[in-house]
Structure 1
Amino acid sequence: MSGGPLEVSVSVDREHVKRDYDDTCVTTFLPFSSTIYSHINTYGFSTCRLFVFSCSSDDDDDDERERESLWYSLIFLHALIVLESNLIEGNGGGVQGSVYHEGCPGCKVDQMKQLRRGYPYLELSFVWIIVLSTSLPISSLYPFLYYMIEDFGVAKTEKDIGFYAGFVGCSFMLGRALTSVFWGIVADRYGRKPIILLGTISIAIFNALFGLSVNFWMAIGTRFLLGSFNCLLGTMKAYASEIFRDEYQATAMSAVSTAWGIGLIIGPALGGFLAQPADKYPDVFSKDSIFGRFRYALPCFTISAFALVVTVLCCFIPETLHNHKQNGTSHDDSYDTLEAASRESTASTGKAGENERKASHGSLLKNWPLMSSIIVYCVLCLHDTAYSEIFALWANSPRKYGGLSYSTNDVGTVLAISGLGLFSFQVFVYPFAEKLLGPVLVTRYAGALMIPIQMSYPFIANMSGLSLSLMLNCASILVNVLSVSAITGLLILQNKAVDQSQRGAANGIAMTAMSLFKTVGPAAAGILFSWSERRLQAAFLPGSHMVFFVLNLIVVVGVALTFKPFLTTARRFERNSNQI
């Protein structure tokens, strides 16, 4: 006959095991391990109380019963550690089910996501305005850069203005290329929120200084510093993938790319409307005011003021990075042996996890689903930044050189309309397109559709009046919508290719590579545009025809790279994604 129950308490003090449910006691009867497994999956706990029935026929054999109970307890302890490792580490350091770590900001966010089932309007708003603030200054200078270079007096002829404009444009991207990986590593180590605050503050400072530039080299220096500290896009891509539930991941990446794309359009619109205010609005701004002496300061000050407001709002956003600190607990002396075994197992498991994380970080460059999506992303970003500069230079340039002779206000109007169209598409159409086609096909189709539209630009320049306005606005809306849609699909692929603990570094790599391509983009676009104005009478692709032909070549390369075997997706994502 079986003996009476003997109570044995097992305390587990692992880095991963500390829970919000410290007082929960799970009672079970060994050796029914399936019961233990179900409790582990259902409850979080740091102390488990076991009631073990001895199999000994001698009720007085206490030593045998104690040894047997200890043996069962050690079996349970081992099962607990293995299961906790599978539950937690299998999710990249995240948390599944109802298992949370006390004092961990990332776990609090995960718990919030579990409890909140409605549409994430608040999180969407925060992500949107932060990304918008970082994208506004990037291209806001393009509508007035032509005139700014002219005012600096560095260009000897009109045909040389595009050459110098390209170097001012690329200085921002050069600074960002040199620092993106560093900021990504810092975000993975110290959290997303400090990097976000640093980025918004730097926009407020350095963008305002750019508006006060008095010569060519000051403009390059302030733009370089602005790019060096503008670390928000990579961090925000990681943040957005962590703050939203799985079913809203497409919405999250769409919000990032939409805000980014709209900022790249609204920024130039602000630059176009607010530059040279003393000339355009003499009743409001006098020639002797600061905006009369610094003709391009008003749009820069406006964006800096917005960045300051965003900085204040960022103080209220939650941190999403997981920070699992080891917590000590005290137990009775009678259980010292079990505690020592637990600590030893914890130490070995922790070291193994740390080594695995180091190896994982070191293998990012060997993660082909990540790297292939980054390469395609870089090619399309090269097109995007080259197009932004060329469009503004082309619209500002005189008709005799194949341009439109547009003022900064005219360019601002076109870009503002494009921004409205882009916002409507990304909010109401893109999530359904991504769900229907998958991110790969969205990227491929969007890139292919851009090619014939860009071919039409040189012919649009031959129009005038209402027909010119209608055709130009339609073409601008379509190109911007398709460009942002293609990039959004690649952002989704990048974040699905890595675990949460790697997203900051992965996005840092993407930002560095993208910034290198975007460093080449403005400089090459400026040189290409100046060269095209010197070959207006060429037999093959004269003038602006050559400019838009080169832009289309870049898109063709990007679309070609979306096919297998080059572009691949992560295995865990393939079953939810369309076939390439």
Structure 2
Amino acid sequence: MSSTREDSQSASEATPLLANASTIPVGTSADEEDVPALAPTTSGPVTAETQPAEDQIPKAQIFYLCCARLIDPIAFFGIFPFVNQMIFDIGQVPEARVGFYAGLIESIFSVVAMCSTIPWGRLADRIGRKPVLVFSIIGLSICTALFGLSQSLVQMFLTRCSAGLFAGSVVTIRTMMAENSTPKTQARVFSYFAFASNVGIFLGPVLGGALADPAREYGGVFKRVYFFREYPYALATCVIGIFGLLSALFVLVFVEETLKSKTSEAPLNGSSKSEEMSISELVKCPGVARVLFLQCHIMVLAFSFTAVMPVFYFTSIKKGGYGLDPFWISVFMALGGLAQAMWMLAVFPWIQRRWSTGTVIRLCARAYPFFFAILPVYNAILRQGWSNFFWATAPVMSMIGAGVAMCFTAIQLAINDVNPKPATLGTLNSVALALTSGIRSFSPALFTTLFAIGVDRHILAGYFVWVIMIVIAVGFTFDAQLLPANAEGRLDKQESTEGSEP
């Protein structure tokens, strides 16, 4: 047995891919022409070295990367509960125009991130994942802390723009997650990734809403300190910044490098510079363009919702919103983040494994129009004075509707599946995130402007933006049929399955 194990290990080190199919790295297609036939597994009892499924997940590294993943959504969503009030106080703009400026602040972050994502990805391919991850988290943390010290709209724009320069953490963590998973384990690995994202979405609004303007909200020592009276939103952003700096230290100490050329291991799958592809060549690979298109459609739905919701919660009932204060805005947003995390952890892996990645995408596509439609319906309920019914059911419906977020992780798995070879995984993730940032650069401003126009001019009773978003969501139900076969993600396609696709 010892000799057999040594021979198997030696073969694995000398000839990557000559292993059990479940250990093929994500981004490798088993039917590529240059991949040899898979060797049979070693006979004998299953050990930690030969067990192919969940035990091959490097649990410690995945946990550390999930901890690092928290900072980006905390920093991004942490300002949402108070950004509208901050604009209203500092900028002294009319209520109907608050949403417009809130959308611009979010968009300027994304414009800069769109331009910096691919350079960050290429830098990570050159100097390593870990230094890029540490540096980008530090930069994001400092810029987020400075945002709360802004005393004008210009300063708010500049600090948010600066934060966009440090957009390297998301693409780096996504790539490291993929490099720590296999086709058989990636659904669970990326469900952890999404769970961490949604924990961040939960914590961000909680921190932002609870710590915003402490002098007014809590009085006492905060009211006696000049700093908190002069900079009412600094406590929230500084706490988020400190959390980010601690996260960077955590990464520096515990996270291991995954770029093979920067470790003592052989290059992944024997990859070399000769295997690198240009972006145009990569996009022309089978299924890549269509999956990127579907990702863009999903991101339009996602960013329109995340941009409109804070100002929708803030806007008075008679003008088409919920009329909530920053605390209750943070509660609703936190519930949404918590619900998304539960959907991703408890439901997504089961659906994806039982049916397919494509099934998850198509189910979410069918649910999106109803999820959007229920929100103006609840405003109409509030206009009728049925507040008890609203408070009894609206939070629950919000948590149920959060299940559509499963398609965010599903499309990431589809991107991994259509990636032609491991050497292009970082580049493909960079392209996908650059497109995401590009959409986020205009969609928040566009949809918050449409919301403001609908509210200001009372178009369709103030529901103008929801009608547009529902139409786009209906379009996604048709576009979801474009998912290519190599992105379907059926793990059991060669086995008999129980039941049929929903």
TM over 0.5, shorter chain: yes
1:571 is displaced (CA, Å) by 7.7
- Of 382, 387, 408 in structure 2, the residue corresponding to residue 487 of structure 1 is 408
User: Structure 2 unaligned runs (5+)?
Assistant: 29-33, 41-47, 494-499
* Residues 213, 232 of structure 2: 8 Å contact kept: yes
Contact persistence 1:241–1:249 (CA under 8 A): yes
1:513-552 correspondence runs (5 A): 513-536=435-458, 538=459, 541-543=460-462, 545-552=463-470
For residues 514-556 of structure 1, the C-alpha deviation after alignment (integer angstroms, 9 at most, x for no partner) is 11111112111221111011232x4xx320x222222222322
Go from structure 1 to structure 2 and tell me whether the alpha carbon gap of 1:473 and 1:284 turns closer, same or farther (over 3 Å shift): farther
In percent, how many aligned pairs have the same letter?
A: 22
C-alpha separation between the residues in 1 aligned to 2:296 and 2:124?
A: 22
* Structure 1 residues 40 and 286: alpha-carbon distance in aligned structure 2, compared to 1, 3 A threshold: closer
User: Structure 1's 570 and 295: CA in aligned 2 closer, same or farther, altered over 3 A?
Assistant: same
State the structure with bigger RCO (CA 8 A, min sep 6), 1 or 2: 2
1:236-255 mapped onto 2 (5 Å cutoff) = 236-255=173-192
1:325 and 1:528 map into 2 onto residues whose CA distance is: 50
Query: Hey, what does 1:132 align to over in structure 2?
Result: 70
- 1:433 Cα deviation (Å)? 1.5
Aligned to 2:259: 321
Deviations 1:335-389 (A, max 9, x none): xxxxxxxxxxxxxxx9xx7564134765212124233222211221222122122
Distance in 1, Cα, partners of 2:468 & 2:54: 48
Q: CA deviation at 1:575?
A: 6.4
Instruction: Check conservation: 2:316, 2:322, Cα contact below 8 A.
Output: yes
**Cα separation, 2, equivalents of 1:360 and 1:425:** 37
Q: 1:310 is matched with which residue?
A: 247
Output the CA distance in 1 between the equivalents of 2:423 and 2:5: 28
- What's the CA shift for 1:265? 4.1
Structure 1 residues 325 and 262: CA distance shift in structure 2, 3 A: closer
1:324–1:302 Cα change, 3 Å: closer
Counterpart AA for 1:561? D
Equivalent residue of 1:285, what SS? helix
Query: Between Structure 1 and Structure 2, whose CA radius of gyration is higher?
Result: 1
Give the match for residue 159 of structure 1: 96
Q: Structure 1 324/261 Cα, relative in aligned 2: closer, same or farther at 3 Å?
A: closer
Separation (CA, whole Å) in 2 of partners of 1:321 and 1:265: 31
SS at match of 1:561: helix
**Residue 112 and residue 384 in structure 1: after superposition, are their counterparts in 2 closer, same or farther (change >3 A)?**
farther
The 5-angstrom pairing of residues 41-440 of structure 1 reads 42=8, 44=10, 84=15, 87=18, 117=55, 120-153=58-91, 155=93, 157-286=94-223, 288-315=225-252, 316-323=254-261, 354=272, 356-359=274-277, 363-440=281-358
State the shift of 1:466 in Å: 3.1
Cα 1:278/1:324, change in 2 over 3 Å: closer
In 1, are the aligned partners of 2:355 and 2:490 still within 8 Å (CA)? Answer: no
The residue aligned with 1:17 is none
Q: 1:567 aligns with which of 483, 497, 500?
A: 483
Residue 406 of structure 1 deviates from its aligned partner by 0.7
Shift of 1:170: 0.8
Q: Secondary structure at the match of 1:363?
A: helix
Q: Select the residue among 429, 435, 449 that pairs with 1:507.
A: 429
Q: Is the 8 A contact 1:184 1:508 kept in 2?
A: yes
Structure 2 residue aligned with 1:13 = none
- Mapped contact 2:54–2:185 kept (Cα < 8 A): no
Provide the aligned C-alpha RMSD in A: 3.5
Contact kept, 8 Å, 2:214 with 2:228, in 1: the verdict is yes
Name the CA shift for 1:389/1:199 in 2 (closer, same or farther; >3 Å).
same
Give the deviation of 1:230 after TM superposition: 2.0
Distance 1:215 1:433, change over 3 A: same
Corresponding residue for residue 496 of structure 1: 417
Evaluate the alpha carbon distance shift between residue 159 and residue 428 of structure 1 in structure 2; reply closer, same or farther with a 3 A threshold.
Answer: same
C-alpha displacement of 1:427: 1.7
Displacement of 1:432 in angstroms is 0.7
2:395 paired with 1:473: yes
User: 1:362 and 1:325 mapped to 2: Cα distance?
Assistant: 29
Deviations, residues 252-291 of structure 1 (Å, cap 9, x unaligned)? 1112222223423432232222211111010241253322
Query: Is residue 365–residue 480 contact of structure 2 (8 Å, CA) maintained in 1?
Result: no
Worse-matched range after superposition: 457-466 or 307-316: 457-466
Change (3 A) 1:191 1:94: farther
How far is 1:189 from its partner?
Answer: 2.2
CA 1:360/1:232 → structure 2, altered by over 3 Å: closer, same or farther? same
Aligned to 1:331: none
- Cα deviation for residue 178 of structure 1 reads 0.5
Provide Cα deviations, 1:72-120, integer angstroms capped at 9, x if missing partner: xxxxxxxx9xx948759x976999989xxxxxxxxxxx98998993765
Displacement, 1:292? 2.0
Per-residue CA deviations over 1:219-276 (Å, capped at 9, x if unaligned) read 1111111112121222211111222355421111112222223423432232222211
Give, as a single letter, the amino acid of the residue that structure 2 aligns with 1:434.
Q
- Return the offset for 1:168: 0.8
In 1: Cα distance, 2:51 partner to 2:278 partner:
27
> Separation in 2 of the partners of 1:525 and 1:115?
44
Aligned residues: 467
> Corresponding residue for 2:45?
none
Q: Is the 8 A contact 1:497 1:569 kept in 2?
A: no
1:472-502 deviation digits (Å, cap 9, x = unpaired): 21232123231x2011110111112223221
How far 1:416 moved relative to its partner?
Answer: 2.1
Assess if the C-alpha contact under 8 Å between 2:53 and 2:184 holds in 1: no
Q: 1:362 to 1:385 in 2, by over 3 A?
A: closer
Cα pair distance change 1:554/1:195, threshold 3 Å: farther
Q: Which amino acid aligns with 1:187?
A: A
Distance verdict in 2 for CA 1:371–1:579, change over 3 Å = farther
User: Quick one: distance in 1 between partners of 2:133 and 2:49?
Assistant: 22
The one-letter code of the counterpart of 2:336 is: S
Secondary structure of residue in 2 paired with 1:492: helix
Structure ranking higher in helix proportion: 2
SS in 2 for 1:367: coil
For structure 1, the residue ranges without an aligned partner over 5 or more in a row are 1-23, 27-37, 47-79, 99-109, 328-349
Structure 2 distance, partners of 1:263, 1:391, is: 17
Q: State the TM-score, normalized to the length of structure 1.
A: 0.73
Structure 1 residue 175, shift from structure 2 partner: 1.2
Task: Decide which moves more: 238-247 or 378-387.
Answer: 238-247
**How much has 1:399 moved relative to structure 2?**
2.1
The code of the aligned residue for 1:139 comes to F
